[in-house]
Amino acid sequence: MKYVEVNFDGLVGPSHNYAGLSLGNIASKQNATAVSNPKLAALQGLDKMQLLLDLGLTQGVIPPHIRPNLAQLNALGFNGSVSQQLKKAYSIAPTILASCYSASNMWTANAATVTSSLDAKDNKIHFTPANLFSQFHRSIESDDTAALLQLIFNHEKYFVHHPHLPHHAYFADEGAANHTRLTEAYDQTGLNLFVYGCSAQNNQLAKPNKFPARQTLEACQAIARIHQLSDDNTVFIQQNPDVIDQGVFHNDVIAVGNLNVLFYHEQAFCNTKQVLDEINSKWAKLSTKKLHLIEVKNNDVTLNSAINSYLFNTQLIQLNNGDTAMLAPTECQSFTDVQYYLNQLQKKQTQIKQILYKNLNQSMQNGGGPACLRLRVNLSEAELSAVNPHFLLTHKKIDQLKALVNEYYPTHLNLQTLSSFETYQHIQQANQAISRYFGLNT
């Protein structure tokens, strides 16, 4: 049976803004006071989805959560009329206001961990929404994400939905951003790489000093168990704590894999040799095909360039002719070492045959590149036909969504404008238009 990998991109929400909320995410900090343009952000995201459709791939979409999250403001003691809630929160705790307004669910790589039915003992696709425990503004995404995933993948025969892991530091989990599946072909069993930043229990393992490790080993192990993966098709890898301290807050900022290609920076992991040995030996049991490990040396691309260009947050996609293409953010063209590396890569006979660039700078300024904006799901023809078609895109739907964004989305937001009732009303109209479009209850 034919299998495809479908990217489900987050539609950027109308409250997209910059507030410096994510500790350890350099771009978020640097742009803390910048003015955002939600309309442009959403159009850039839709352009990326359109490019994949143009390439003949199946493309999905996940709608934004309703923001501001007034229930959360209420729960934190900011009550009264909406106008009063906004004003009180802005004057007493602006960061809480920004958090409740954050459009962060656009980065669907953090929505959940999803594993293939080809890898699970029960032959089902498993979903565990990420608890996003480490950052307050993200931790309030899990329940809405769970509801959306259940709506999109609503068929007991094929899809199993688990609750998020317990909301505790022990099980801090950031979803697919720290999970990579390697396989010889989409219709074959895969090797699931789980990357963690620290262990909650084992103090012998190094930890970052400056910034939080947002994924624990214990969370990775729990997900592998819950998703019924076997030892043979699972590898747990510790991320290098030094790179976390330099701004690599998720593994997908320093490594990306697809099919039989793993593209990573030499400083990405702890005990790299051991990690590669385990990957190679488990791969050998799964496949006779060559596994391509493309390691980028610090001499070729510095860690600083990698973090600022998001070279490793590129999307590796299989084109219909079987070639692999890399979808990179345009920032990669601004760093001399990165650009030189990519030019050389294209000349060499590697698996990556083509590089495509997309401008996603509105999302990039919050630390979200092409790969952050998508959740990958490996689907057989039968599984794909069980996906709720409202969330699978066509060119016509992209045009409709662009029209909706153009009509309803604001073009300038910062924390001060978010505190005004007029802005709230503007964003509410956009929320309602989106909900109507996707047939969601508000």
Judged by CB, which is closer to ligand SUG: 67, or 250?
Answer: 250
Closest approach, Cβ 189 to ligand SUG, in A, equals: 25
DSSP H helical ranges for 328-394: 336-347, 361-364, 381-385
Annotation marks residue 174 as catalytic: yes
Of 120, 47, 10, the closest CA to residue 383 belongs to 120
Closest approach, Cβ 10 to ligand SUG, in A, equals: 10
Judged by CB, which is closer to ligand SUG: 253, or 296?
Answer: 253
Q: Using the rule CB under 6 A, is 418 a contact of ligand SUG?
A: no
* DSSP letters for 177-231: GGEEEE-SSTTS--EEEEEESB-SS-TTS---SSS----BHHHHHHHHHHTT--G
Contact 174, 110 (CB under 8 A): yes
Q: What are phi and psi of 42, to 5 degrees?
A: -70, -40
Beta bridge partners of 198: 216
Residue 187, classified by CB atoms within 10 Å of its CB into exposed (0-12), middle (13-18) or buried (19+), is middle
Among 41, 152, 177, 338, binds ligand SUG (CB under 6 A): 177
Closest approach, Cβ 366 to ligand SUG, in A, equals: 4
Cα distance between residue 260 and residue 291, in whole Å: 5
Judged by CB, which is closer to ligand SUG: 67, or 282?
Answer: 67
CA distances 53 to 141, 215, 319, 398, Å, are 27, 32, 11, 10
Closest approach, Cβ 417 to ligand SUG, in A, equals: 14
Name the catalytic one among 5, 141, 174, 184: 174
Q: Using the rule CB under 6 A, is 114 a contact of ligand SUG?
A: no
Q: Using the rule CB under 6 A, is 107 a contact of ligand SUG?
A: yes
* DSSP letters for 386-413: TS-GGGB--HHHHHHHHHHHHHH--S-B
Residue 129's SS3 state is strand
Beta bridge partners of 179: 194
Among 10, 13, 14, 20, binds ligand SUG (CB under 6 A): 20
Name the catalytic one among 100, 220, 332, 372: 372
Closest approach, Cβ 229 to ligand SUG, in A, equals: 21
Contact 42, 368 (CB under 8 A): no
Task: Give the binding-site size for ligand SUG (rule: CB under 6 A).
Answer: 23
Residues 210-239 that bind ligand SUG (CB under 6 A): none
Amino acid letter at 357? Y
Residues 245-304 that bind ligand SUG (CB under 6 A): 249-250, 252-253
Judged by CB, which is closer to ligand SUG: 190, or 368?
Answer: 368
Q: Which segment (16-24, 40-48, 58-66, 380-388) binds ligand SUG by CB under 6 A? A: 16-24
Residues 123-142 that bind ligand SUG (CB under 6 A): 135, 138
Annotation marks residue 372 as catalytic: yes
Q: Using the rule CB under 6 A, is 372 a contact of ligand SUG?
A: yes
Site string for ligand SUG, 337-366 (x = CB under 6 A): -----------------------------x
Annotation marks residue 220 as catalytic: no
Judged by CB, which is closer to ligand SUG: 130, or 152?
Answer: 130
Closest approach, Cβ 65 to ligand SUG, in A, equals: 13
Cα distance between residue 263 and residue 137, in whole Å: 30
Cα distance between residue 205 and residue 270, in whole Å: 10
Strand order in the sheet with 352-358: 315-318, 324-329, 352-358
Q: Using the rule CB under 6 A, is 18 a contact of ligand SUG?
A: yes
Cα distance between residue 147 and residue 173, in whole Å: 18
Q: How far is CA 171 from the centre of its chain?
A: 18
Site string for ligand SUG, 87-106 (x = CB under 6 A): ---------------x-x--
- Residues at the site binding ligand SUG, with contacts judged by CB under 6 A: 18-22, 25, 28, 102, 104, 107, 109-110, 135, 138, 177, 249-250, 252-253, 366-368, 372
Catalogue the active-site residues.
174, 250, 372
